[in-house]
Amino acid sequence: MTSLLDELAISNLGVLDSARIEPTAGLVVVTGETGAGKTLLLGAIELMLGLPARSGLITSGSDEATVEGRFVTDGEEMTVTRRLAREGRSRAYLDGSMVPLKVVAERVRGLVEVVAQGDHFALRSSGELRRLLDASLDETGLRSFEKYRNAWDRLAELRKDQTRIGGDVRALERERALVAFQVGEISAAGFVTGDDERLVIDARRMRHASELIEVLNNVHSLVDEASDAGGSAFAGITRAADLDPDLVPLVELAQGVMVGLAELGTEIRIATEGVALDPEMLGEIEQRIALLSDLRRKYGEDLGAVLDFGREAAGRLTELEGLVERSRVLDAELVDSEAGVRAAAGELREARMRAAEQVEDAAESHLRDLGFTSPSIRFTITEAGLGGAGADKIDLLFSSDERIEPGPVAKVASGGELSRLVLALRLAGAAGEAPIVVFDEVDAGLGGRTALAMGRKLAGLARHRQVLCVTHLPQVAAFADAHFVVERVGASATVRRVEAVDQIEELSRMLAGLSESERGREHAEELRQLAMADRA
């Protein structure tokens, strides 16, 4: 895959009000005075990588900053845009469509590798060193890594099961016993929806049974009296209808009243006979009411809530029974799984040791090219706790000469040595195999022949990929296929491409501090010719 950053446009980013560059393939360098704003170009690329926006990036007086890049991969274009707002959230666009920032990050990070000046701090990080070695694993090592990841994922799932179970089978058994009791208590009560209302009605009827019978008997007597009187009235109405046919409707009405009184008397008699004077039954009803009250106190404010609790508890009981059954084999599975993970971690450690030897040899070779006579690099890989990326603690030991015992890189390496060491390790680790590599002043602290050697290294790396380099060294800039200069006037900066005479003037400024210096120009021309001849 061949990829390059074909165009980069910036507006209102720091001191860059507006800038547009069109990098070429090969080695692209960015130079300029200290504080001119060179690093903002790196910051723009990092924004397209999805990195968080630092506060204060937006130009003073502006509400929004925009970074837009066009990448070309095997002839296919992709545009990435990042907009930063002074107030509100930033936005990201892919080929003109708004997308989540993580989508942009996933698409771009596979194309671009950033090697920053502060990367020497990563040499102290076991995680960063592990990632460097993992990028250099051979095929067997990659299979070992995949095997470990699968074993670790399996162990993680088992631990999740253990967490769901609670990690204490006895506690799980206690909960199952409690839930089983609750389910059994509610089920044994035998209540169904509506029982609470029916019990209240039945209890009230039975508590007042004697009074109710007495009242119904009195009513029945009154209905009987009304029926007797109604009979006499009906006979009179019938006689009147014989005398006056217009009164026939009254006969029908009186007949209906008589039928109604007869039906009412029958229903009252049936109701009276249905009233039970049964203290024992009343006691049973009151016991049911007391039982319901007890269940409501434990499980819900009314019968509906109690029944809902019972159904949920029954579901939980089924789950608990499954978990208890699962727990009987889980401990054994965990032991086996952890053993498998540790075995896979051992294989992965061996693979990383093989990769470490390769990286050490390659990095030492690069360091010799960068001015060291007999440098020594050693990775130490020791066993650590299990984690998602293995069980290894990785440290880096370094000495500038093989006669000196290697020590922790952070303690024994100078600034210039660290810069070369970062580059050598990145080159040895194939710089992550990204088709576009960005270096931000990794040449700090270098000069003379060593700086020239670094220029050759970067130019060599650029034969097979696009390399963008922010540098202050003319020995590096002399190897550029495309050279951009950041110039600042007051609070604003501009970016322009320099070629031919303009490039010689910039190299002269970098060499002598004066672009107008005749001797500086001569030295700059000589340096440029040397670089071009070396590349040829």
Neighbouring CB atoms inside 10 A of 325's CB total 10
Which of the pair, 9 or 401, is modelled with greater confidence? 9
The span from the CA of 261 to the CA of 428, in Å, is 112
Bridge partner residues of 377 (DSSP): 398
Res 1: pLDDT: 63
The span from the CA of 182 to the CA of 306, in Å, is 10
Res 132: pLDDT: 86
Res 434: pLDDT: 72
At residue 27, does pLDDT exceed 90? yes
Res 514: pLDDT: 57
Res 278: pLDDT: 66
At residue 416, does pLDDT exceed 70? no
The span from the CA of 451 to the CA of 428, in Å, is 19
Res 484: pLDDT: 94
274 contact partners, CB below 8 Å, separation of at least 6: none
Exposed (0-12), middle (13-18) or buried (19+): which is 389, by Cβ within 10 Å?
Answer: middle
Structural contact between residues 238 and 251, judged by C-beta atoms closer than 8 angstroms: yes
Res 373: pLDDT: 87
At residue 444, does pLDDT exceed 70? no
Q: What is the pLDDT of residues 261-298, one digit of tens each?
A: 888 888 888 877 777 666 777 777 788 888 888 898 99
- Determine the angle formed by the axes of helices 279-299 and 169-189, rounding to 10 degrees: 150
At residue 432, does pLDDT exceed 60? no
- Determine the angle formed by the axes of helices 448-461 and 415-428, rounding to 10 degrees: 20
Res 517: pLDDT: 63
Angle at 428 between CA 425 and CA 433, to 5 degrees: 105
Which 3 state secondary structure label does DSSP give 52? coil
The span from the CA of 33 to the CA of 487, in Å, is 7
The span from the CA of 68 to the CA of 94, in Å, is 10
Which of the pair, 20 or 172, is modelled with greater confidence? 20
Over residues 344-357, the mean pLDDT reads 95
- Encode burial over 173-202: b for 16+ CB neighbours within 10 A, e otherwise: eebbeebbebbebbeebebeeebbeebeeb
Structural contact between residues 400 and 106, judged by C-beta atoms closer than 8 angstroms: no
- Encode burial over 342-355: b for 16+ CB neighbours within 10 A, e otherwise: eebbbbbbebbebb
Angle at 161 between CA 159 and CA 167, to 5 degrees: 75
CA 113 to chain centre: 23
At residue 359, does pLDDT exceed 60? yes
Q: Which two tokens stand for residue 40?
A: 């903002």
Q: What is the pLDDT of residues 76-133, one digit of tens each?
A: 999 999 998 888 788 999 999 999 988 888 888 778 878 765 555 567 778 888 988 9
The span from the CA of 488 to the CA of 498, in Å, is 16
Q: What is the pLDDT of residues 219-242, one digit of tens each?
A: 888 887 788 787 888 888 888 878
The span from the CA of 500 to the CA of 527, in Å, is 13
Over residues 348-352, the mean pLDDT reads 95
Over residues 141-150, the mean pLDDT reads 95
75 contact partners, CB below 8 Å, separation of at least 6: none
Structural contact between residues 126 and 112, judged by C-beta atoms closer than 8 angstroms: no
Residue 309 identity (one-letter amino acid): F
Over residues 415-441, the mean pLDDT reads 76
Over residues 32-51, the mean pLDDT reads 84
Dihedral sign from CA coordinates of 164, 169, 175, 179 = positive
Over residues 421-435, the mean pLDDT reads 74
Q: What is the pLDDT of residues 171-224, one digit of tens each?
A: 778 888 999 999 999 999 898 888 888 887 777 777 766 677 777 778 888 887
406-413 CB contacts, 8 Å cutoff, 24+ apart: 406/376, 406/377, 406/378, 408/124, 409/120, 409/123, 409/124, 410/120, 410/123, 410/124, 413/120
Q: What is the pLDDT of residues 478-535, one digit of tens each?
A: 999 999 999 888 888 889 999 988 899 888 888 876 556 677 788 888 888 888 887 6
The span from the CA of 98 to the CA of 93, in Å, is 4
The span from the CA of 246 to the CA of 252, in Å, is 12
Structural contact between residues 90 and 101, judged by C-beta atoms closer than 8 angstroms: yes
